């Protein structure tokens, strides 16, 4: 997945240069019963834990998540990574 980021960025640059719309990436819908692993599946696709954890119903409502690439030298990324 990490190798796709530069390719997607280059494609978006080309589309911006020619005035076309931004690339629409695939959307994923995850549906299932309580505690069936929906959140775990999403986190494994992303490659890092970011959803709330606990007993009972934790992610009770529909979630819309959008991933945005942020270079590691970006200050906001470092803050989120370090928890500061």
> Which residue ranges make up each domain of the chain?
4-82
- Are 30 and 42 spatial neighbours (Cβ–Cβ below 8 Å)? yes
Name which residue leads in pLDDT, 76 or 54: 54
Give me the torsion for CA of 71, 76, 81, 84, rounded to 10°.
160
Q: Is it the case that residue 12 has pLDDT exceeding 60?
A: yes
Name which residue leads in pLDDT, 12 or 66: 12
What is the pTM for the complete model shown?
0.50
Portion of the chain with pLDDT greater than 90, in percent = 0
């Amino acid at each position: 997945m990490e190798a796709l980021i530069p390719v997607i960025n280059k494609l978006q640059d080309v589309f911006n240069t020619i005035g076309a719309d931004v690339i629409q990436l695939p959307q994923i819908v995850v549906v299932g019963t309580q505690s069936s692993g929906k959140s775990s599946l999403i986190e494994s696709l992303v490659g890092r834990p970011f959803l709330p954890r606990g007993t009972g119903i934790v992610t009770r409502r529909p979630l819309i998540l959008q991933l945005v690439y942020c270079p590691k030298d970006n200050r906001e990324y470092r803050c989120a990574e370090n928890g500061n």
